[in-house]
Amino acid sequence: MNEDVITKQSKLSTAMMILFAAACGLIVANLYYSQTLVGPISTELGLSTEAAGLIVTLTQIGYVAGLLFIVPLSDKLENRRLMISVLSIVVVALIVAAVSKQSPLFLTATFFIGTGSVVAQILVPLAAHLSSEQERGRVVGNVMSGLLLGIMLARPVASFITDIWGWRMIYVLSAVLMTLLTIWLSRSLPRRKPENKLTYLSLVASLIQLFRKYPILRRRAFYQACLFGAFSLFWTVVPLRLANDFGFTQGGIALFALVGVAGAIAAPLAGRLADKGLTKNLTLTALLTATGSFLLIALLHDHSYVALVLLFISAITLDMAVSGNLVVSQRIIYSLGNEASGRLNGIFMAIFFIGGAAGSFLGGLTYAFGGWIWSAWLGVLLPLFAFLYFLTEYKQQHKR
């Protein structure tokens, strides 16, 4: 085996950890830029109100497709080469999106932007593979901090840049960043060639087998799908509440979105505590925190200053709950086996992301028919369902 091929005993240096975190954040941000730009994009490209939602939906569909059909390749192909190849597709798609004059071409580009952004979900398992069992929670927590910062910063950054230079500039800037990142990763990443003899079709088919084999994977995916559903619901409807009930401008909403960044501090903290065996306590705290975050803003839903302050507090606590439990869940999943880590992560993230997409859809639907109060109470129910399911975990005897 070549010297630059990583082994299970390899350790992740601080510099490499920072590289992984920054890369994940920059890549995953591509999924969220368009969420605050649906209005200006659809107006310029001539999309109807009904079709405008495809801008976000096709990106999400592309991401799920990548999780199911590209991420499994990380358990067979050399990881560095795979990531460089997929990132090259992202660069091309971003350029096409930036110059598109017709909606079909732009929408096609958004699909491939979503598909290629799954490189972040190849990087995270690679970071876990590079780390020892004793430090895995800390490593995953630190890397996920970068990924979560990318999610939380993407929306306000896109809004600010669009206000100054127009919506096309965010795609231009991201294309430049992805190009530089591709070069950086090609020179900095160690090689990892999994010893897996399965064919590609067998790898994809094995996703169902892995899902059936590991009850803890199904359980953790459900917890996180409920939490991310609540998270996505919040960030879908809270801009409408801020604009309609408190008179916030687009710039004010972008500034509000920055508040959620504080929630990312929970990721490295949760990783360290998970390394000490506090997995169940952390999950219980996350589920109760998310439920409480929505309960406060559901009960006090007037237009008062106190209600506005509670929105700010809930934005922070909800983000902390989601990011903290995500790290805990991923640490458990990566401990199930290195040879299948890519596929296990792909299954987990696909279910997790489907939960987020459902939360966004249901949030918009409930807000349209029942206003903020309907959306807020749905936000209470989602993590509450996960909490009720979590209670059954104590009845199981095997150790997590």
Per-residue pLDDT 10s for the chain (400 aa) are 343 444 444 466 778 888 899 999 999 999 989 877 777 888 899 887 557 767 877 888 899 899 889 988 988 889 999 999 999 999 999 999 999 999 999 999 999 999 999 999 899 888 877 877 777 777 877 787 788 788 888 988 988 898 889 999 999 999 999 999 999 999 988 888 887 777 888 888 888 999 999 999 999 999 999 999 998 889 878 888 888 899 887 678 778 888 877 777 777 777 788 778 788 889 999 999 999 999 999 998 888 899 999 999 999 999 889 888 988 888 888 788 667 777 888 899 889 888 887 888 788 788 888 989 999 999 999 999 999 999 987 666 444 4
For residue 223, the model assigns a pLDDT of 96
Q: How far is CA 250 from the centre of its chain?
A: 23
Q: How far is CA 143 from the centre of its chain?
A: 12
Domains of the chain with CATH codes:
14-395 (1.20.1250.20)
For residue 50, the model assigns a pLDDT of 59
Bridge partner residues of 191 (DSSP): 5
Burial class (CB in 10 A: 0-12, 13-18, 19+), 258: middle
pTM value is 0.80
In the chain, the amino acid numbered 192 is R
Q: Compute CA distances 32 → 162, 277, 388, whole Å.
A: 14, 33, 31
Distance CA 110, CA 191 (A): 30
Distance CA 25, CA 143 (A): 9
For residue 5, the model assigns a pLDDT of 44
Q: Determine contact, residues 334/128, Cβ cutoff 8 Å.
A: yes
Q: Determine contact, residues 70/172, Cβ cutoff 8 Å.
A: no
For residue 180, the model assigns a pLDDT of 97
Distance CA 120, CA 125 (A): 9
